Structure 1
């Protein structure tokens, strides 16, 4: 019986440096991660130069640790996969160059992975989910609805025309003085905020952009502006923000973002079922924002109400990690889709390369 292939995955697209070993039996043999949260917290967001230098400082140690934890040597690995985009190009290049050097030195195949595909396929690392499925990908830099027909086969139904949901969480948290990363901070503050039974906030009337429009696109720029104006009004009237104000605004923000996600995903479900029919009706949610327990619960309720099964990876696998890159590499390795050492690092790399660009994305595709 042939042994299951083993893939080394490397992730350096933003502010997490990670390396992992995954095999063909869906086992995460090891996972080593260095979080840069403390390095960027002072600035309230990711500083690309600091991120790239941190990847240089820590990546080789993490790769060594991943191999030691799995009690393996590089010779035991069947291929080396690394995030080749989209992302902060300095960090992406660190991972790609390191992976290519290891692949060349050990005479192993190199596989260039789209970071978004890592998120898109990560649920298949957790469970035997068949293609096709509907994917809501929500993170700090991305907010998309796609039909996943297979590895490398994606149809975009909708995307953000300006900012992503995760960015809205981060900028709101910074505005309210809740720190970085913003998503978990907003989620915790929202638990103490006032919410009515309908999920609306009595004190604040925030917009739900595009929810009165057809289609599956998102917009969060206007919501961020409305939140800032609410905060500025309170500061002007009261001389500052009190804890109750912060908690209520956090709850209002989470409710508004949740309503937008539910509305757009509901539209996407209709299109998905119309085009793919009843086969494998599954809604998958992935990306860093998918770690939000309240949003996961609301999306699961939506899926069940529309007759779809629901799947979201465990919270740690929703945020950036090496295991999802290794798994995406393994899926491509099994299909013989290896890349040469000339494969480029790409700051932009849409999953659906046939879809026309949306407002704010430029002609080269999705932004990091």
Structure 2
């Protein structure tokens, strides 16, 4: 077997336009399943898990199914042109490729979830079967291509598939928070009631311990109650994260509005200033949300004269899928809340 070229390994041979781009930033990919090369895995797709920011935008704009159908037909991938984000998918392996099957221990017929974004995954849709607005999942029939540099996870036997898919969608969040938090530290989670916010809150509590402080922020009382239910937060306040001063004032009612680590999981525009305002000098702000805008974060910190580390959420870190599943398994109250939404 000939060694794969760099172009084949990263999927550049699937790029239609512009020439020289990598798949994620490309405008158009060739998603033709019959064109599968030696290194590619072909997956029969069953469900698309659309990322929160993208689904929110699509739902506000109109018919979600029609828009997804149009985006995929034009671009050869689910890459929202407004939010720049995509999601991930659940399906069954049709062909493993020369490396991926062995690397991840999967074979044809296995059910898997991809751990790379739909913004770089060649996707061919045959039909859209249903749209589940409550969980941001779309049931489809089609095929997807995974490149040798991609990542995936076999669906666990002990967790309902739709729950596992939801967890895999944000698998990078909690492990990164576990790396960034410190014992005895103070952590604030914006968007604490969403699935990534819940996972980050529980992960933060494990690290900071009883001597530390974990505070959540949510826009509505129902979401705040959901965050409170997992038992990880010292307090959860209701505030609009797009209003930084009101948010800081709300947090100040439950303690110092200054944190070692601030995590933004807000799926709407405009939360960057509030996150930065809540970070202490030389603290860290971790932007996990796909609604984050680099210029607004960078210039906002500069304008506030805040010497803080700004980190963009990387959806991948070593062992992130299993770490997130393990977190879910360890905490019964977290498990109950996630199951209530997705099972």
Would you say same fold, with TM above 0.5?
A: no
Q: Which has the higher strand share?
A: 2
Which has the larger share of helix?
1
RCO higher in 1 or 2 (8 Å CA, sep ≥ 6)? 1
Q: Normalising to structure 1: TM-score of the pair?
A: 0.36
What's the TM-score once normalised by structure 2's chain length? Answer: 0.38
